[in-house]
Chain A
Amino acid sequence: MQQQGTQAPADVAGRTIAVIAATKGLEGPLLPILNGVQAEFGFVPQEALPVIADALNLSRAEVHGVVSFYHDYRREPAGRHVVKLCRAEACQSMDGDALAARLMDLLGIGFHETAADGSVTLEPVYCLGLCACAPAAMVDGQVIGRLDRDAVAAIAREVRS
């Protein structure tokens, strides 16, 4: 992963405790808490894990096991935009490989990388449920179907602007 110039977030413990307070009552609260922490910081800071472990009376190892299991939990801050390109079977069969290469070329980064200027993070995703509109991508939470070379170029332009 590339190092970001961004500062470490302030008051991780305090903000994590606030997230926990809001979601602790749920059944099986660990995933909702982690989702909340990711929403709060844009990623799951390492310093948040012991705080969560203590609140739920779990071991640090257990929380680490869960966080590391889900690829969606980010361990470093992402770029300002996040592009997730579907790499599952249907999209691959619809020329997804070439589009992926094209997008990486345009952005100048590979999968799991963030542009040096912090503008964008590119990630693979395994099925967005848009197989009928393959190939598909998700940009900042918005899904886009039937990608082609132009659409990919448009995505690159938008996130780089």
Chain B
Amino acid sequence: MGLITEIDYGTPKSDADKDVTLTIDGFSVTVPEGTSIMRAAMETGIQIPKLCATDMVDAFGSCRLCLVEIEGRNGTPSSCTTPVAPDMVVKTQTGKLKDIRRGVMELYISDHPLDCLTCAANGDCELQDMAGVVGLRDVRYGYDGENHVHARRAGDGAENFRWMKKDESNPYFTYDPSKCIVCSRCVRACEEVQGTFALTIEGRGFESRVSAGMHQPFIESECVSCGACVQACPTATLREKSVIEIGQPEHSVVTTCAYCGVGCSFKAEMRGDELVRMMPYKDGKANRGHSCVKGRFAWGYATHKDRILNPMVRDKITDPWREVSWEEAFSHVASEFRRIQYQYGKGAIGGITSSRCTNEETFLVQKLIRQGFGNNNVDTCARVCHSPTGYGLKTTFGTSAGTQDFDSVEHTDVALVIGANPTDGHPVFASRLKKRLRAGAKLIVIDPRRIDLVRQPHVEAAHHLPLRPGTNVAVLTALAHVIVTEGLFDEAFIRERCDWSEFEDFAAFAAEPQHSPEEVEKVSGVAADTIRAAARLYATGGNAAIYYGLGVTEHSQGSTTVMAIANLAMLTGNIGRPGVGVNPLRGQNNVQGACDMGSFPHELPGYRHMSDDATREVFEAVWNVALDPEPGLRIPNMLDAAVEGTFRGIYIQGEDILQSDPDTKHVAAGLAAMDCVVVHDLFLNETANYAHVFLPGSTFLEKDGTFTNAERRINRVRKVMAPKNGLADWEVTQRLAQAMGLDWAYTHPAQVMDEIALTTPSFAGVDYDLLEREGSVQWPCNDKAPTGTPVMHIGGFVRGKGKFIRTDYVATDEKSGPRFPLLLTTGRILSQYNVGAQTRRTDNVVWHSEDRLEIHPHDAEQRGLRDGDWVRIRSRAGETTLRALVTDRVAPGVVYTTFHHPDTQANVVTTEFSDWATNCPEYKVTAVQVSPSNGPSDWQVEYEEQARLARRIARPLEAAE
């Protein structure tokens, strides 16, 4: 096990079909047309010296180190900017080239410090490497002249005005201008890879320096701290603070980020069992070598002092916690659960699987519940996010998942983003989308709020439809109305792939006058012309892809909206090939996987209904138990039953339902009514305030397994350090199962995956050997698709014929009125992740230390509110307080907040309304009133006090000597 070093080919890969053959240093090479000489040479194993070239960005040709000689051509062209040509004869090493390169290096080094031994890049510095490669032995210019290296001038000791202090403002990396060779790799990475354009080269000639923003500290610039510049820097100029502090890593392990549903591959670079840094992995097919601030830098929570490492038990939630052995904890839970079942019936307990844990771990939790508890009371956080996606896409297309891989966006001509905020929620995908937009693709955004994607440097949406929260179905049906009535649908596609009579029925429905843009304008507030223009662009702009998020699903008509989206894709034939499709941007790292693994009360793994005898028989044979064909309880039903007294015990794996589920008071009441609440988590989360048993969890760095991302990609998670709590999460569940008398004996998660493959047809071909070989696979992976399925529904829909469904708009009962005149909607921010349990325990808080309420200046003025004022936000469910942020990003009548901080308690305000089909809560619409406030609400004060008491841990006093 050493450090994984990926080959840097110097320039990006060419996608040309035609091949070109040339000769480099006497070797014949065949590469695609458009390949640079540098890359062609590297592919044969000849490494041409280089500094400003790296294969994540386009060739630049500024360092003059990669020069070559070409027979029949004058001069010494740079190999990075010169494309190959047929029969070209290239020499990469001649006397002339050696002299030039040495001369160039001499100039570089004449303005670079010679502190290699104490430099943070020592051992990982391309400048150092190149000095060695070209045989630099002397720098004739000396170091006394003009330079950027020393704070004081050599002769008179006067201040050197060219020298600039190190910028340490970013919490995760430093910028040391004295080490900069102005290769522009950071600037180009920020522009081409990340798409933020936060960096530039200021000045000219010898005065040229890298500048963040307008010569500002990084933290004050537009920088989003994705780390692409640090990754690109060939010297110590931009460097991770962790490397400065610890030193160079010595081995690395490829694993998968545990934040969002993009599922980026990283190299965890280690020194011993200490994590030095997370480096994006270029072979990762979701991220292609890119990262965001969370995955790249925000992993400090894994060793945060708040992390609980010992199991704890208490009799009442008002008692302090008592640390116990694992054995005691497991036997306590087992006896409590058995007691409850004996007293109150088999169905009186249940569990929640975690979308943050691995497939194998969630599989085991639902197995524990079905096999061990003997009921189907299992649910997962997808209940509150993408359950409508599963239902809607299963109904229309036949599978409960997105249709494309992320690479597909490179072939997209029109991207329709609805109810998603990719630059904050799915930043690495957003960077890939923005790259395509800069290359000319068009963008339509449907969102009540002016998200960053609507307009930011070099990206501008062709159309932004700022609809009123809750009117998604009306607007999407209006788009279908335009497509149908203007004849923009793809008749050949529909006749071939869909049921024509169902289409006719749908077309007649969509064409009804109440679905016209002019009528819909009245309910949605979106100008009819804009709706028409957007529909025309989507239908006729080439490959059109829909990307959507929780702004679609978390509504009372969430499932209907998903079906309306599917209708649009089928109408226009935008399904079944690269560049198109319907793509839910899944929230959690493994929410797709948790759903796949049967974390629903009505479904066994692979989305097969409990009532299906054949499926049950498969599991009954393997598990040696009779399964209940009746669906179990969903999370809200469990809580209702708890309040009624019929549901008394729950095992919650890695989820903070108190903070993330709607109507906090109801959740609290449900939990408080139970006899045995078992929380299995890294931290004493908010739910743990109501728990009787706490089982410490392990981080993604401490276990083996797989995560499945938003593109159905099964990525390996690899253990890079021993679990600090002693047991990986799958071992905790197994030990609990054993304590309850089950004969589980897994010794590695690979065996769990084998059981998944054995029982679940869409995973039939998956095993760890395959993942090792392929890196990752996208399900379905079976005999028909032995290496997985990047794009689904090619040539036909999984369910047979695509199904059009009438999508009647039914206004939510949650309406604004005189008492609650504003509509509250919620969302996320780049630097924080969901309830913030992890990111709040990292330096990411420098970007977002509190939740704020965004309110339009008009609404703010009416209420006498100024930016930064404390405001009270009240719905019919409850009230909370937070500070206002006055901005025109939200429309008048709409307010918006994030939910990353527990003291904000945004879900005290949200209501019990939910999706008609799946109970997914209506987070995105709550009628509220906002008024000035001078401090926290009564609930916040009481809650704070309760939380403080509930978090006490009793520790035996040390006896005095």
Contact = CB atoms under 8 A, between A and B. Distances in A.
Interface residues of B, number: 22
Nearest to A61: B200
Interface in B173-222: 196-204, 211-215, 221-222
A53 interface: yes
B457 interface: yes
Contact of B196 (A57, A59, A71): A59
A64 interface: yes
Interface string A38-62: 0000000010011001000111111
B679 to A, nearest CB: 45
Contacts of B799: none
Contacts of A9: none
B214 A61 contact: yes
Given A58-B197, A61-B221, 14 more contacts: A49-B214, A53-B457, A57-B458, A57-B460, A58-B457, A59-B196, A59-B197, A59-B457, A61-B199, A61-B213, A64-B211, A65-B201, A65-B202, A71-B204
B215 A59 contact: no
Contacts of A63: 214
B457 A62 contact: yes
Given A68-B202, A69-B204, A61 B458 contact: no
A64 B199 CA distance: 10
Contact of A61 (B203, B204, B212, B460): B212
B455 interface: yes
Contacts of B203: 68-69
Contacts of B214: 46, 49-50, 60-61, 63-64
Interface in B153-169: none
Nearest to A46: B214
Contacts of A60: 213-214, 221-222
Contacts of A64: 200, 202, 211, 213-215
A93 B201 CA distance: 33
Range, interface on chain A: 10 to 19
A119 B28 CA distance: 69
- Which of A49, A58, A59, A71 is most buried by chain B, counting CB atoms within 10 A of its CB? A59
A2 to B, nearest CB: 15
B826 to A, nearest CB: 28
A95 to B, nearest CB: 26
B197 A61 contact: yes
Contacts of B455: 57
A65 B188 CA distance: 13
B148 to A, nearest CB: 16
Looking at chain A's contact residues, the main secondary structure is: helix
Contacts of A50: 214
Nearest to B222: A59
Interface in B116-165: none
Contacts of A53: 457
Shortest beta-carbon contacts, A-B, top 5: A65-B200, A59-B197, A64-B214, A61-B200, A68-B202
A142 to B, nearest CB: 27
Interface string A100-115: 0000000000000000
B424 to A, nearest CB: 18
Interface in A72-114: none
Contacts of A65: 200-202, 211
A95 B142 CA distance: 31
Contacts of A61: 197-200, 211-214, 221-222
Nearest to A63: B214
B211 A57 contact: no
A63 B221 CA distance: 13
Interface string B427-442: 0000000000000000
A58 B458 CA distance: 6
Contacts of A46: 214
A59 B438 CA distance: 14
A58 B457 CA distance: 4
A126 to B, nearest CB: 11
Contacts of A57: 455-460
Interface string B235-246: 000000000000
- Which of B200, B202, B211, B460 is most buried by chain A, counting CB atoms within 10 A of its CB? B200
Interface string B444-458: 000000000001111
A140 B554 CA distance: 65
Interface string A112-123: 000000000000
A62 B458 CA distance: 11
Contacts of B458: 57-58
A53 to B, nearest CB: 7
A160 B199 CA distance: 42
Interface string A11-28: 000000000000000000
Contacts of B460: 57
- Which of A53, A58, A64 is most buried by chain B, counting CB atoms within 10 A of its CB? A64
Contacts of B222: 59-61
A68 B214 CA distance: 10
Contact of B197 (A62, A68, A69, A71): A62
Contacts of A69: 202-204
Contacts of B198: 59, 61
